A = this chain, B = another copy of it.
């Protein structure tokens, strides 16, 4: 067994059995090992940002790490932006990055570079294996880091001679960092806040947005008579009919501040104190009123469900206590010209049960969330790091993680262009993804940002930099070029028909919705 084979064996022993790969020469022993050690699902991507984003999406659904296989410093660099997004989403990922043979590094060959330096800003853990004998142990440690609470990004750098050198057998799984138990002091503090009276908001994030945690939060909010909200961006929310309703904090600073004005107690559960996305010359960074009392029940390093259960017990609640659930109320299918609310109504009516919605709709989609509250039950994902080009890769990972569920990607045209190579991997793997390209032919979000920073009416050069026209992108052709069937919709009737066709298809389907 060589080092690469010992690593693949170690990964399989630790239940890391999916690899999103964009390999080069330095990774060829790892690739060859996949034929000798059976069991790794290896998915080829044509750009590294697709691989890292797919690993993020896979984690968000399965809550277990996938791996990536990347080529030296530049290959890892191409994957960094979606590692940034994954890191902000709290996704666990194991990156395997090939390196030159150790004896070759001194010669400064064309592809040589500072891989550890590239890795560090977007990784929690970085290590270069020193020899073939160390690879299995290093791999087991990387996986433990990715699987710990909170989940983390681990990057293992694999010199070619550590790959091809003789190694021992697979390493046994290492125990990941366990979640911290509920903090009784925090539970008491939250209880005091809930009983203090006045306007109270419970703000949920992370693991609090799903399963039993969400149910407990719903009971507690109903019992205490306080408002239940979620952060402005969320890695995955379980929502829709039969689920606890969550109001989402606005991206818009003025709106978010207005929502929180008068709130006297803010209870954070898996969430952070809300801050503005960007700073503006005349607006505060913090969205919470200065006199608001902020208390934290549990953070991301804690067992959030246990903390909620402990709080519920203190509140005298049990599994049978009432929780306000969202009834099933599909909106009527609208027609006529394309409007944001009309798109949302189509989504709300047609999202199939247990779908996964990957939302990178940016400016057009600000209002999609409330209007899909009453759709069939589904999961909703946001970009957590806001680096554009997250949705198509994340949809790949989600579709692989849950082949029985329909994945819906809602993507602005500007965003989709960053990682459009995703379409080919969707076609190749026959992934069940319906893609809606919200084609407004611009970085529309930046137009409003220009106004917010006080620039006034932008001039011609500035407007040129925000406009994706001349020529218009032809998304039907782009999809066809990648092997994905596509249609173009120009009104809501066409959109509804095409979206329904996409949902009925068994594989990727793209709709260019011209706005």
The 0/1 profile, CB within 8 Å of B marked 1, for residues 84-111 of chain A is 1100100000000000110110011111
The 0/1 profile, CB within 8 Å of B marked 1, for residues 472-515 of chain A is 11111111111100000000000000000000000000000000
The 0/1 profile, CB within 8 Å of B marked 1, for residues 58-75 of chain A is 000000000000000111
Contact yes or no, B110 A233, CB < 8 A: yes
Q: Which residue of B lies closest to A383 (CB)?
A: B110
Q: State whether A418 and B47 are in contact (beta carbons under 8 Å apart), knowing that A28-B449, A35-B462 are contacts in the complex.
A: yes
CA distance A100 to B278 in the complex (A): 7
The 0/1 profile, CB within 8 Å of B marked 1, for residues 209-252 of chain A is 00000000000000000000000010000000000000000000
| Minimum C-beta distance from A8 to chain B (A) | 11
Contact yes or no, A120 B122, CB < 8 A: no
Spell out A's residues near B (CB within 8 Å).
21, 23-26, 28-29, 31-32, 34-36, 40, 42, 44, 46-47, 49, 73-75, 77-78, 80-81, 84-85, 88, 100-101, 103-104, 107-111, 113-114, 117-118, 120-122, 160-161, 164, 233, 272, 275-279, 281, 285-286, 383-387, 389, 414, 417-418, 420-421, 424, 427-428, 445-446, 449-450, 453-455, 458-462, 464-466, 468, 470-483
Contact yes or no, A35 B461, CB < 8 A: yes
Q: State whether A483 and B471 are in contact (beta carbons under 8 Å apart), knowing that A77-B81, A104-B276 are contacts in the complex.
A: yes
Contacts of A475 in B (CB 8 A): 481
The residue from B47, B455, B472 contacting A29, defined by CB atoms under 8 A apart: B455
* Shortest 4 CB-CB contacts between residues of A and residues of B: A35-B459, A471-B483, A74-B387, A478-B481
Q: State whether A25 and B446 are in contact (beta carbons under 8 Å apart), knowing that A110-B386, A122-B77, A276-B104 are contacts in the complex.
A: yes
Contacts of A281 in B (CB 8 A): 161, 164
Contacts of A40 in B (CB 8 A): 461
| Minimum C-beta distance from A41 to chain B (A) | 9
Contacts of A474 in B (CB 8 A): 480-483
Contact yes or no, A88 B110, CB < 8 A: yes
Contact yes or no, B462 A31, CB < 8 A: yes
Contact yes or no, A34 B462, CB < 8 A: yes
Contacts of A80 in B (CB 8 A): 74, 77-78, 80, 118
The residue from B34, B285, B428 contacting A107, defined by CB atoms under 8 A apart: B285
Contacts of A473 in B (CB 8 A): 424, 481-483
Contact yes or no, B279 A46, CB < 8 A: no
Contacts of A468 in B (CB 8 A): 46
Q: State whether A25 and B113 are in contact (beta carbons under 8 Å apart), knowing that A462-B31, A483-B474 are contacts in the complex.
A: no
The residue from B49, B421, B455 contacting A28, defined by CB atoms under 8 A apart: B455
Contact yes or no, B233 A428, CB < 8 A: no
Contacts of A472 in B (CB 8 A): 483
Contacts of A28 in B (CB 8 A): 446, 449-450, 453, 455, 462
Q: Which residue of B lies closest to A87 (CB)?
A: B113
The residue from B35, B100, B480 contacting A460, defined by CB atoms under 8 A apart: B35
Q: Which residue of B lies closest to A454 (CB)?
A: B164
Contact yes or no, B104 A32, CB < 8 A: no
| Minimum C-beta distance from A1 to chain B (A) | 14
CA distance A428 to B23 in the complex (A): 32
Contact yes or no, B387 A32, CB < 8 A: no
| Minimum C-beta distance from A96 to chain B (A) | 13
Contacts of A25 in B (CB 8 A): 277-278, 445-446, 449, 453
Q: State whether A446 and B88 are in contact (beta carbons under 8 Å apart), knowing that A29-B453, A462-B32 are contacts in the complex.
A: no
Q: Which residue of B lies closest to A85 (CB)?
A: B74
Q: Which residue of B lies closest to A72 (CB)?
A: B387
Contacts of A277 in B (CB 8 A): 25, 109-111
CA distance A446 to B22 in the complex (A): 11
Q: Which residue of B lies closest to A26 (CB)?
A: B278
CA distance A464 to B41 in the complex (A): 11
CA distance A29 to B108 in the complex (A): 39
Contact yes or no, A279 B100, CB < 8 A: yes
Most chain B beta-carbon contacts within 10 A, residue among A35, A117, A414, A466: A35
Contacts of A445 in B (CB 8 A): 25
| Minimum C-beta distance from A424 to chain B (A) | 7
Contacts of A420 in B (CB 8 A): 420-421
